Amino acid sequence: MQLYSVLFRYDESHCSYLHTCPEGDFICRSGDCVSSHFKCDGEIDCPGGEDERGCEFLSAFVPSASIPTTCPDHMFQCRHGPCIARAYLCDGEADCPLGEDERNCSRSDENPTARSGPAGCDPGMVMCADRTACFPKHWICDGEPDCLDGSDESDCAMSVENFLAETITELCHPGEHRCGGGSKCIPVNRTCDGTLDCPNGDDEGPLCNECEVRRTPCEHKCVNTPSGSRCICPHGSVLNPDEYTCAQKDECSTPEGKQCQHYCEDRHASYRCTCAPGYQLGTDGHS
């Protein structure tokens, strides 16, 4: 298959495209032309995957062998169908045959039409300013709004780099520290280590020596962070509300401990399920 690059203009409000694709071809959002034979064939041909969007009939007519089992990092894999762009997740419109792209989408109390969106974005993706969706970086200032708040097209006179830093919120993964301005994420173990890793040096801020001058010593261990010191507790213990003493963790209150069918016996850093008189514990250790 060959993609034909085209130049086109379109009205953002009504999405009426003026293009030069051959008659019968499908036009991608990127401007590429795809033969209609490749529309809903289970293989992504458009950069954004829109040639496989809305193909509810795919699993009924296309052999399962032609449906991709894995998707690129910037795409979402439907259970029984095509890959779709992650920007389509929780957008109020079901794109997967079984509608799983619209499940577990809690609505915002302030704006009933807004979706909470994913907690973070995959590599190569950025999050809209209102945190409702992720989309590929190359969609910034491409002339077509992809965010519900239009933040990806809000100020296209600035550079893409500045737009990423000032308009789009790139989230760091758990266990990472976000440098000031959101320009970089670094592992937390590289903060307060005496080496500047962030461009603005905030990973080695003035609060990095609080453990040495802390008025209330930690019961177990004190850890310095760029935002100040914090106490941590050993495995099997949790930090008390006073934020410096530790208490034994109730293992029976954890999701695993709650699986005990009859009784749960709390142990240090562990738990044990027990049975009522006349019953014997099964091999699964819970029932």
Q: What are the structural domains, with CATH classification, of the chain?
A: 9-102 (no CATH), 176-204 (no CATH), 209-248 (2.10.25.10)
Taking residues 110-124, what's their average pLDDT? 47
- The answer to whether residue 80 scores a pLDDT higher than 80 is no
- Region 223-245: mean pLDDT is 82
pTM of the model: 0.32
Percent of the chain scoring above 90 in pLDDT: 0
Residue 127 CA to residue 147 CA, distance in Å, equals: 9
Q: State the pairing for strand pair 134-136/125-127.
A: antiparallel
Of residues 105 and 13, the one with the higher pLDDT is 105
Q: What is the pLDDT of residue 97?
A: 72
Q: How far apart, in whole angstroms, are the C-alpha atoms of residue 285 and residue 256? A: 11
Helix (H) or strand (E) holding 126: strand 125-127
User: What is the pLDDT confidence band of residue 196, given thresholds at 50, 70 and 90?
Assistant: confident
Name beta bridge partners: 248. Answer: 237
pLDDT higher than 60, residue 66: no
Supply the pLDDT for residue 239.
83
Of the pLDDT bands very low, low, confident and very high (cuts 50, 70, 90), residue 155 is low
Average pLDDT of the residues in 181-194: 78
- pLDDT of res. 47: 73
Instruction: Give the closest residue to 192 by CA, choosing from 148, 150, 228.
Output: 228
Contact by Cβ (8 Å): 109, 117: no
Give the per-residue pLDDT at 10.
37
Q: How confident is the model at residue 81 (pLDDT cuts 50, 70, 90)?
A: low
pLDDT tens column, 256-267: 767 788 888 877
Q: Which two tokens stand for residue 109?
A: 């109390």
Average pLDDT, whole number, for the chain? Answer: 70
